[in-house]
Structures are given as C-alpha cells and as structure tokens.
Structure 1
C-alpha cells in the first residue's frame, strides 16, 4: 500500500476542471515532486488529499484512509504534516504562541530539534516576520509532531540559500528515516536534487509519472563539441541528434554550410555511437551533460517537441 493513492480523482468547479481523472501512487518512504504551472491543479490535489475540499468523482487514500471518510481522515491527519503555500498564521501572535497552539492540537516531540535547525524568532509577533521567517516557522509546525507523511506546497519560498541547503539535507534525512514527502515546487533545480520521482500535471490532467533519471533520459543529453579543425556536417547527421546549432571560428576558412568547428545539440541516441566518432577529429573540448529539468518541463508546457 502506498502512502498516497489517487484513484480517478476529479474536481470539477463547473467552469474549470481542476483535476481530471488523476490516478497515481506515492510510495512509502519516497520524495515525490508534483510539478505544474500556476493553475494546473496542484493545490486542488493537495487540498483534496487533506479533506479540505470534496472530490467531484473518484477518491484517494492517504496513509490507507479513504479521504471521503471524514472521521477516519481526522485521525489519520495526526500522522500528517502539511505546509501550505500561504501559512495564514495569526499575525498578532508570537512565534512561541503559534507553536504552543500547534503542540496542543498534535504534539511537539521534535520542537527543540527543529528550532535549533531553522531558528525562527519566537519572541516576535508574526506580523514583524520576514517571508523567510514565516516559512521557517511553518517548517517547524509541519514536522514538530514527527509525522509519517508530509505534504509541502512550495516549501522553500522566501528561504535564503543557506537555509534551503539545510532544509534539503533535513528532507533527505527524513526520507532515509522512512518519512514520505509529497511536495509541489516551481524551483526545478530543487526538484532535481531532492525527488525520487515526479508527477507532471497540465490543465488538470496527469501528463506523466517518472523517476527523475528516466524523465531526463527521455529528453536526452546536451552535447557541446569544440574542434581544432573543421568537421563535415555529416559528423552529426545521424539518429538521435536534435536542435543542432553550429558555428565556424573566425580563424577557420570553412564553408559554414558544410563544416563547423563548434556545435551544440541534444542527443537521445546511443552515446557510444557518438563517442566512436570523436577520435576522427582533434577535439579542443567535449562536454556531455544531462538536459536541465527546465528543458524537460518546457517540452511539456512550452510547445516544444513532445517527450
């Protein structure tokens, strides 16, 4: 049984079909990233999983509990941590008062540990907090009762780079302890570093669910070649070469329609076939890198080639 299981989950607002027959499973003990632009349906999915809104059709199970069973879901939520994209804390309360309230509702076994890690200013009213301090307080409230599952909506908004790094290390350690993490984010480099798998949602429909490495392999690798001598264009005329851009150095007298000394392309073929061609020319530099996750995302959303 997965920690989260969606089965045909649908939410129809009438004019907007926010979630359209979505089905996938988040396995226990994994970090699962949920990606999509604003309005794609991510927050609707999260709110439905937490029982804040009712599905129009289909259902989901969270920690084995059907979200339509409101009483059982209330019990299950004692084992769930949730970080909203809008904390909505009482801005007249101090940080300490906010934590005391949460502790009274769900417990605070890990309060001291998390305060050492994230260090929000507890003696000040929330209205005097920066956005980063609000987020740090939210992280403490999310994890302080030692949940089995955490659902995070844009968890690093407002955090400075040092705290982001600290949070990433903490999240990996939680995963290694067996905690399941489900989070949405627009920061794709963050998703790349943290997630075991990702689901991509577009216009309310699930586009794909894949391990990060599989998703990147499907999009190919970025290859850059810099040669000491002109290379015939036929060198890169084979299956797997896409989006080819070539140029000829100023000190070369080659026909740019037939030869190049520098090129960049996306490669989806057998990398050994490409490497076998390199010894025929004197190379100045060759780099082969994973395609940025941003490129993967744009292929789903930006009108590029379908993945």
Structure 2
C-alpha cells in the first residue's frame, strides 16, 4: 500500500517578513506547527510576536513570504478563519450585550461550538454571563474570549497573551483547558511572556528576537543546550580537585566549604557521576535551567543574536 501523505501543518510560515517603513517587525521567519501540538511563541515586547499573529490572522499583508492555516493562505480570511479561533491580548466586547449574548454571537460566526462544554467553562471560569459587557473588568472580558475559544471546534487556537488580567486560580483553569484542547486534537499557538505558563503546557517553543527566530525546540532539547548546576555535599572532606578537574563538561568547580562543592555541567552527566562515585557523597542536587533562564540567556547578551532555526 502507498505511504500515507504527511499531515498538512496547522500553521506554516515560509520566509515571512513584515516591514513598517524602515522598521523590520518580522524578518524571514520560517516555522511549521503540526496538528495537535501546543506551541509556545516567546519574546519580549517589540520582538514581533503580535505582528506575526496579525499576519497569521490575515489582518496584515506580509512584505515577503507567506503564511498558511491548514494549507489555506492566511490572506484568504473567509476560508482560513473557518479553521481557527483567536483570543487577543486586549479583548473588546460589545458593551450593550451581556456576556451570554457575546458568547452566542461569537458562536454564530465561528466554526461551531460545543454548547455543553461552553456551559461547563462558564462555571469553571466563574463568569457571570448575564452582566452587560460594559461592566466587565479586564479579566472578565478575557474570560468571555477564552470560554468562546475553548468551546469552539476550531482545529487551531491562536492565543495572544491570553491570561492577562486573570488571577492565579483562573490561570490554572486556563492551563487545564489547553491540556483538554490538545487531548481533543486541537492545535494551540500560544504567544506569552509568562514563561511558567508556557513551560507548563507547551511541547515546543520558539524564541523570537528582533523579528527573527533564534531557537525552535522542545523544552528538554532547549535545556540540554544550557548548563545544569550541581551541588554536592560530602560526609568528609576530599582532596582538592577530588578527581573532578578535567572531567568532560564540568566547569566553574567551586568548593563553598570543606564538605560542599558546586559546579556547572554541559552535556551528559555520566562522566561527573563516575568521578563522584569515589567520594563519600551524602547529598546531590541537580538543577536544570528554567525556561525563564533560557529566555534571559537569549536576551541578556546583545552579542548573542543567534541564527534563525527552521522547524
């Protein structure tokens, strides 16, 4: 039997660029997000995240390259938007309508809504749907948009800073909803500066700097690109160096007391573990870098511009 054709990416950008006069907002960005993936899109303010999303939504025309939603050109808004739901960073609702009327209107223009699941989400997000939208706080307007998006049957959810204005309990509900969407086979494209949020729900991340992708990788792969910190406590003092000097991957070896040492490790841990086997170790702590530390590593050194990574 012939091999099955590869799945069409939920989102594909090829050499995507956007310029505003002399400002380059998105610079030769190439990216593919397969169906069913939760993809995190990271970058500081001004990195080009929102411009990229506007290009995906067909709200802007690219200066170069193109972007597709399930194979449909993004500028074909009528067809492309049958495949997606969007939550903006700043939600604007119809002020004279109630929350329920806003939800009904959004359901009527979208690709279909699971009404039973929507009712469940209204309860989970503690939303009062019978208040006028003009009386809603920023967080409540955000809840309306999130409930509408998660209840939709759209195969792609494009979420741009979706938890702004939510309290920690509602942020936890948001993460549960992302997990449930992925379990249903929906693709989630999550643009966020809340790194703990991305770390909790995403399988891969892309890091944007000055309009260019400097990294696209899974979380575990990203961590392997950086050093881990190892702290060791001994039962009795060891000789200086203690067989650790020159071990592959070990750097910044420091004795903080006669019984405690720290080091950084790049690469696999086996060589350093073999070296530590000859010591009387009573405690060993290995700390991997958080996503926030990886993020700061990209933006904390102006010399490290990186090169675009395609995925």
Say if 2:282 is the partner of 1:274.
no
Given that residues 241 and 266 in structure 1 are in contact (C-alpha distance below 8 angstroms), is that contact kept between their aligned partners in structure 2? yes
Residue aligned with 1:134, SS = helix
Indicate how the Cα distance of structure 1 residues 242 and 190 shifts in structure 2: closer, same or farther if over 3 A, else same: farther
Post-superposition offset of 1:58? 0.7
Structure 1 gap ranges (5+) = 249-259
What is the 5 A alignment of 1:1-307?
1-68=8-75, 70=76, 73-106=77-110, 109-117=113-121, 118-231=125-238, 232-233=240-241, 235-238=243-246, 239-248=248-257, 260-303=258-301
Residue 108 of structure 1 deviates from its aligned partner by 5.3
C-alpha change, 1:107 and 1:3, in structure 2 (3 Å) is closer
How many residues of Structure 1 are paired with residues of Structure 2 in the alignment? 293
Q: Distance in 2 between matches of 1:25 and 1:43?
A: 17
Q: Deviation digits for residues 209-246 of structure 1, max 9, x if unmatched?
A: 11111111111322121223334245443332245554
Would the alpha carbon gap of residues 285 and 300 (structure 1) be closer, same or farther in structure 2, given more than 3 Å must change?
same
Residue 246 to residue 92, structure 1, CA distance change in 2 (3 Å): farther
* Alignment gaps of 5+ in structure 2: 1-7, 307-311
Q: Match of 2:157, SS?
A: strand
Does structure 1 conserve the Cα–Cα contact (< 8 Å) formed by 2:74 and 2:80? Answer: no
Q: What are the Cα deviations for residues 146-194 of structure 1, in whole angstroms up to 9, with x where unaligned?
A: 1110000112222233322222222122112211110111111221121
Q: Distance in 2 between matches of 1:287 and 1:59?
A: 47
Indicate the SS of the match to 1:147.
coil
Tell which deviates more after alignment, 128-137 or 176-185. 128-137
- The structure where helix makes up a greater share of residues is 1
Q: Name the structure 1 match of 2:3.
A: none
Q: Is the 8 A contact 1:107 1:144 kept in 2?
A: no
Shift of 1:65: 0.6
Q: Give the deviation of 1:264 after TM superposition.
A: 3.1
TM-fit CA distance, 1:304: 8.8
Once structures 1 and 2 are overlaid, which stretch shifts more, 90-99 or 55-64? Answer: 90-99
Change (3 A) 1:113 1:268: same
- TM (norm. structure 1) is 0.88
Alpha-carbon offset, residue 140 of structure 1? 1.3
**How far, CA to CA, are the matches of 2:289 and 2:52 in structure 1?**
28
Distance 1:158 1:244, change over 3 A: farther
Conservation of the 8 A alpha-carbon contact between 1:299 and 1:305: no
Shift of 1:79: 2.1
- Call closer, same or farther: CA 1:17–1:167 in 2, change over 3 Å: same
SS in 1 for 2:143: helix
Helix, strand or coil for the counterpart of 1:40?
coil
Q: What are the superposed Cα offsets for residues 115-164 of structure 1, whole Å, 9 maximum, x if unpaired?
A: 32223111112333233322211111213331110000112222233322
Question: What is the aligned partner in structure 1 of residue 5 from structure 2?
Answer: none
What is aligned with 1:251?
none
**Match of 1:256?**
none
Structure 1 SS opposite 2:25: strand
When the two chains are superposed, the root-mean-square deviation of aligned CA atoms in Å is 2.1
TM-score with structure 2 setting the length: 0.87
Deviates more, 1:15-24 or 1:283-292: 283-292
- Greater shift, 140-149 or 107-116, is seen at 107-116
